[in-house]
Structure 1
Amino acid sequence: MTDLVSLTEAKAWLRVSGSDEDDTISLLIGAASEAVLETADGWDGTGTVPDRLKLACLARIAMAFDNRDSVKAGDGEDRLVQPFRTLDV
């Protein structure tokens, strides 16, 4: 599985400097990338990551980082991922 954002991108989004939180942020990057890619199964993973998917991933990371007592992500990023979802009929 490919991470949708880098550690540097996530730290910039979170406005975190230093390396004390790197392990936590790396974990959140992996989990957020996996969650977004599960929904965005219409994107084949090739080429540049679409900005909407990056933003959805960063939103999940920020939600989890800022609310460590809760693992429920916000629903705002789902609208960003929706165009990449396929439905089987």
Structure 2
Amino acid sequence: MTYNVQIKVMPLKDLLDPQGKAVMSGLQNLGLSGVEDVRVGKHITLRIDAETEEAAKQIADEASKKLLANPVMEFYEIEMIN
């Protein structure tokens, strides 16, 4: 069976996010006020062929740990989608 999985990868909250700071500066330069903080991450969608939903989650988790996220600087969340 084929499963669709979304993986959200974001910088750890305690670390500086240079991309987020650049976007924040750009918003301010455009005169857009009211934005207090910006964090920039990655949104990854995988189509996984697996026996069960749990097996698909396990594959997504392994991919995230080994390739998609840097655990020193980022955290990730996995979501099954229809």
**With structure 1 as the length reference, what TM-score do the two structures score?**
0.28
**With structure 2 as the length reference, what TM-score do the two structures score?**
0.29
Structure whose residues are more often helix by fraction: 1
Structure whose residues are more often strand by fraction: 2
Which structure has the greater CA radius of gyration? 2
